Amino acid sequence: MDLTSSSFADGAPIPGEFAFCVPDPGSHATFGANRNPALTWSDEPEGTRSFGLICHDPDVPTRPDDVNQEDREVPSTLARTDFFHWVVADLDPNVRSIAAGTFSDGVQPHGKKPDAAPVPCRLGLNDYTGWFAGDPGMEGQYFGYDGPCPPWNDSLLHHYVFTVFALDIPRLDLPELFGGPDARTAMGGHVLASVSVTGTYTLNPRLDG
């Protein structure tokens, strides 16, 4: 399979247009345009009956007390974990591309709805659902795409891995509400092929350029 994005080159920085947060000189970070990037794929294996799509950041700090603190920087040696930004299941096998801004165009407090997809599929919950839990202004169920917003004091450049999976079944065995780990588990044994493209992003001015 082949996967490309006209929004950023593989291994290159993701433009702020596609980020949940962008740098701000006064407050370190502010909301960005939060548009989903464009993706195009081809050469899927014979027998493909649906596609899955996951975007995850494997560089998220495991010690939240260090995050976005004025008096410290998150050390690059800190253990990291996955944060899921986009989870799509049962994507129609006739779909071969996603246009920029069609799954997300702007930050939506309390999250987008599960029927917000422009093509036949099921949207999973991204991890902003847990991140904003307990925040009255933002908490809710975040379906679909919400882009990068790494800690502005993180000493590590974050990587955002967009992966398309060709699957041998039309519908995954998933609960009504599912996230990235659920989708990964459900795809087990059904992946005919997968392909990824990776972009980078930071809000730390020390790392930016």
Helix, strand and coil in the chain, % to nearest 5: 10, 35, 60
pLDDT string in tens for the chain (209-residue length)? 999 999 999 999 999 999 999 999 999 999 999 999 999 999 999 999 999 999 999 999 998 888 999 988 999 999 999 999 999 999 999 999 999 999 999 999 999 999 989 999 999 999 999 999 999 999 999 999 999 999 999 999 999 999 999 999 999 999 999 999 999 999 999 999 999 999 999 999 989 75
The whole-number pLDDT of residue 209 equals 53
89: helix, strand or coil = strand
CATH number of the CATH domain containing 53: 3.90.280.10
207, part of any domain: no
Does residue 127 come out as left (phi exceeding 0), alpha (psi in the -120 to 50 range) or beta? Answer: alpha
For strands 21-24 and 28-31, give the pairing. antiparallel
Output the CA torsion sign for 89, 95, 97, 102: negative
209, part of any domain: no
- The reported pTM is 0.97
The number of domains in the chain is 1
206, part of any domain: no
* Lookup result for tokens 């999250």: 111
Q: How far apart are CA 194 and CA 68, in angstroms?
A: 35
Domain span at residue 112 reads: 2-201
Instruction: Supply 207's token pair.
Output: 């790392």
Instruction: Supply 80's token pair.
Output: 């990291």
208, part of any domain: no
185: helix, strand or coil = helix
96, part of any domain: yes
The whole-number pLDDT of residue 64 equals 84
Q: How far apart are CA 198 and CA 8, in angstroms?
A: 9
Instruction: Supply 133's token pair.
Output: 């839990």
